[in-house]
Amino acid sequence: MEHNQTRVTALHRRLIEVEDRSERARIHLELGRLMVSDGLLPRASRHFREALWFEPRLEDAETALRSLGEWFERAEQRRVGRVRAFLGWLRLAG
């Protein structure tokens, strides 16, 4: 994770220097991937959306964002399942 933080810092500095939209998109894509590897999924999602803002047809960003959406959907389904199981347990215990 420390290695990623060094890379994240360097990429943020690069964003300040770069004006080319395509390059900015690729930097955001890389930042998003680093956020995913660190488990920072909401931040990753933001960077993938930024990448698409700069380059709307960047397929890697579209794919990554779609994958995150699917992950969030599955996580929500698991959360709902746990809540239902807990409520069922409460009914049985009460």
pLDDT tens digits, one per residue of 4-56:
889 999 999 999 999 999 999 999 999 999 999 998 989 999 999 999 999 99
Which element (helix H / strand E) includes 39? none
pLDDT of residue 1: 60
SS3 57: coil
79 against 17, higher pLDDT:
17
Helix axes 21-37 and 59-93, enclosed angle (nearest 10)? 30
- Of 17, 18, 22, 28, the closest CA to residue 51 belongs to 28
